[in-house]
Structure 1
Amino acid sequence: MAARREITKKFAREYVRADKHAKGEILDGLVAATGWTRDHARRAIRSANARTGPAGRQPRKPRERKYSYDALVVLQEVWRLSGQPSGKYLAAVMDDTLERLVRFGELGKVGPRVTDLVLDELRSMSAATIDRYLKPHKDAAYPVALSGTKPSHILRSSIPQRTAMDAPLTVPGFLELDTVAHCGHTLKGEHLWTLNATDPVIGWTMMRTVRNKAFVHVHEGLNWIAKHAPVPIAGMDFDNGSEFLNWSVIAWADNRDIPLTRGRPYQHNDNAHIEQRNGDWIRRHAFRYRYETDAEMTLLNELWDLVMARKNHLLPCVKATGWTATGSGRKKRIYDTPRTPYQRLLDNGILDAKTKTRLEHEHAKLNPARITRRINQIQQQLIELASARTQGTRPAA
């Protein structure tokens, strides 16, 4: 964009002094250089000739607020109670979220501002508008996490690779798995780990915190995932960590007729779905503190139950469906319409009657604000426990 502005400024000097025929040639050259339409190129030249100094230093006219201040205040509360999603995802579930918050009476904090007109304004907001209005209230600064993956020295050659360039999955049930270390600033010593599994087709994700990466604990986590998966497990894909690439895990999968694949070493794109879940689901909610005790493991597993209810049932996600070429020749991913993993699961029609009834019953009872309040309470307890460990004390149970 800056290069286009400089080219336009250069053409503007010649455009002022040129005759009608020369002006047409200048416009043709600008259109060819920038890809603009002829009308837009003409307006850009006139604007560039009128300004002084670089375009980046020109004062911009403040954009008038399209929506009322009451709508902004209520939007902030809705965003907070729904788990602070991005505008793209909040806009996709705004109707359902507002209906639940009003039905459960959770907008009392901003109750005097909630009117039919304000609710209609919220429903009509675009994703970009939501992000722009909420920008002052977002804090996306997170430190870089430590990686706890240790390469396995066995079985690499016996487990087939699955890369990012392979054909995309189309049937639910194939899981990507990874472990996340709750180690704080050092991997030394004993600390808790969270086993994370996601289905790239529908986005359904399950998490379970275990004592460490010994098979007796990983086995417990795998059994929990297999029991709570909404559809039968059709396959599993791991990174090259030793907690997965070992004889015990291979035997566990063989006994259940679950095929295994692995990504390429040090290629996170091969496991892009689970890597995204590690950051957005685990790091964002449990932070990067060190957790070691049974009490902390109990809190984390309760936290994951709430996060799974919110993310799997109430908040949408998108899925890449293909590639397209931009005007400049770059490849760009195409994504489908945002939908919740629960909606994708129903759309797929793979659920048995018993599981479908159970999930529908769970879905109907979910209160976004109640989930958020309990998540905040657990997070505050985790912060206090981590702070007590740093100070060498332990708070009362």
Structure 2
Amino acid sequence: MQSTKQYLEELQKEYLVATKLQKGLLLNEAEKRTGRNRKYLIIRLSAKTNWHKARKKTVRSSQYGSDLVFPLVKLWDIFDHPCGQRLKPLIKTELIKLCHWDEIDISGQQTEQLIQMSAKTIDTLLAHEKEVRHLKQHYSQTKNPLLYQKIPTKLSHEWDRELLGQIQIDGVEHCGQTTAGDYAHTISHTDISSHWWEGQAVMGKGKVRTLGAIKQAQARFPFNWIEIHPDNGTSFINYFIYDYANLTGLEFSRSRAYRKNDNCFVEQKNSQNVRKVFGHVRYDTQREVDILNSLYQNELRLYKNFFQPVMRLETKIRDKGRIYRKYQEAQTPYHWLMVSKETPARVKHQLERIYQNLNPAELKRSIDNKLKLLTKVYQSKHLPSKQKQLLENTVSVRFSNYPIGRFGLG
């Protein structure tokens, strides 16, 4: 558009001094170059056209004053915040009655203006109020806003993937189809570097129970923690866990709100080690929680950490809008710990000794047996009372013979 304007501006100088025949030839050439209509070009090339004069913008005066915003907002509140298209017919039918009942105090002229107002104008006048309320609602939902300011956010690309002890934490709900009432939660913990994983089940998601689950999982890790990184939920962002991190010298970071990729390592473990194993059914009894913990503290953790390989990202390159990833050869978390320079020799020796005594086939059979037991307990909740009592008498939770020492490894 700018180049066309410049071309016509230069052509005007030649056009104004040309003969009638020359003007016709110039117009033919201008039509070919610009694609404009001939009549348009004649007008634009005439002496009256001033190319440097700014075009005046017509500013329409507002038909409705700011005095209408307050009664309009009150009407919007009364009718539960409908859009302009739904509020307009309500104003026509209900405004007079509301004025009669002294719910709204406006003049006759304001009444007529509100009744004549279009749906688009209603939305325009309410736009500022909607924005203000949206911001208030957004920030008022954050409990302990000062605590959130103390805990920095950390993105997935900011991790040192060679450093042991950076733990991502997340919760998995075993609520089934409804979140009503109390039900089991799995608190999942994953190390960024080695992908070592630990889980712990609790009933409900209270702050004290969640902190207890974190402490139990921490005791089973074969190395010391240096940082914890949960999601934005109040189960983790609270003064119980914040004070515990300060007391034990742990760094404390968190994910951004609604950004699961900030916690991508533990999210992958949630899918592979929790959902794939236990499904999406509802566990809401202490017996079921005991079976979950029997697996988490024994066979499942050993099976996943010693015999389930994971791939670590080696390089990530963006080229012409595409991302190319290269992964290292898949190895188990146990292997990554054994080759890591961060792992103490004493821990490596202990891990190797335990690895030599583990039978993956036996672990898998034990896991399957406990999962069958968990299924029976779950199904017993939906049986008639007599059958339920009979099944409960035959079902018991037996913990594994694997001992739990300093690192839960024997």
User: Aligned residue for 2:357?
Assistant: 365
369, 372, 375: which one aligns with 1:377: 369
Residue 271 of structure 1 and its aligned partner are, at CA, apart by 0.7
1:169-318 correspondence runs (5 A): 169-304=161-296, 305-318=298-311
Q: Which has the larger radius of gyration?
A: 2
Residue 294 of structure 1 and its aligned partner are, at CA, apart by 2.3
Residue 323 of structure 1 and its aligned partner are, at CA, apart by 1.2
Letter in 2 for 1:383: T
300, 304, 315: which one aligns with 1:322: 315
SS in 2 for 1:303: helix
User: Aligned residue for 1:117?
Assistant: none
Structure 1 residue ranges without an equivalent (≥5): 1-150
Letter in 1 for 2:194: I
| Percent identical residues | 26
The 1-side partners of 2:286 and 2:230 are apart by 27
Calculate the TM-score normalised by the size of structure 1.
Answer: 0.59
1:24-63 correspondence runs (5 A): none
Letter in 2 for 1:307: L
Residue 206 of structure 1 and its aligned partner are, at CA, apart by 0.5
The 1-side partners of 2:350 and 2:171 are apart by 28
User: Given that residues 208 and 240 in structure 2 are in contact (C-alpha distance below 8 angstroms), is that contact kept between their aligned partners in structure 1?
Assistant: no
Deviates further, 156-165 or 193-202: 156-165
SS in 1 for 2:150: coil
User: Given that residues 172 and 199 in structure 1 are in contact (C-alpha distance below 8 angstroms), is that contact kept between their aligned partners in structure 2?
Assistant: yes
User: Aligned residue for 1:164?
Assistant: 156
Structure 1 runs, 4 residues or longer, greater than 6 Å off? none
The 2-side partners of 1:348 and 1:163 are apart by 23
The 2-side partners of 1:372 and 1:226 are apart by 24
CA displacement 1:197-241 (0-9 Å, x = unmatched): 001111100111112221221122111122111111010111101
Calculate the TM-score normalised by the size of structure 2.
Answer: 0.57
Residue 329 of structure 1 and its aligned partner are, at CA, apart by 4.9
1:131-150 correspondence runs (5 A): none
The 2-side partners of 1:331 and 1:385 are apart by 47
C-alpha spacing 1:366/1:249, structure 2 compared with 1 (3 Å): same
RMSD: 1.8
Residue 316 of structure 1 and its aligned partner are, at CA, apart by 0.9
C-alpha spacing 1:302/1:345, structure 2 compared with 1 (3 Å): same
Letter in 1 for 2:305: N
User: Given that residues 176 and 238 in structure 1 are in contact (C-alpha distance below 8 angstroms), is that contact kept between their aligned partners in structure 2?
Assistant: yes
C-alpha spacing 1:167/1:194, structure 2 compared with 1 (3 Å): closer
Letter in 1 for 2:190: T
Letter in 1 for 2:281: Y
The 2-side partners of 1:256 and 1:162 are apart by 20
Residue 390 of structure 1 and its aligned partner are, at CA, apart by 3.0
Residue 321 of structure 1 and its aligned partner are, at CA, apart by 2.2
The 1-side partners of 2:193 and 2:290 are apart by 30
Structure 2 residue ranges without an equivalent (≥5): 1-140, 396-410
Higher relative contact order at CA 8 Å, sep ≥6: structure 1 or structure 2? Answer: 1
129, 132, 143: which one aligns with 1:153: 143
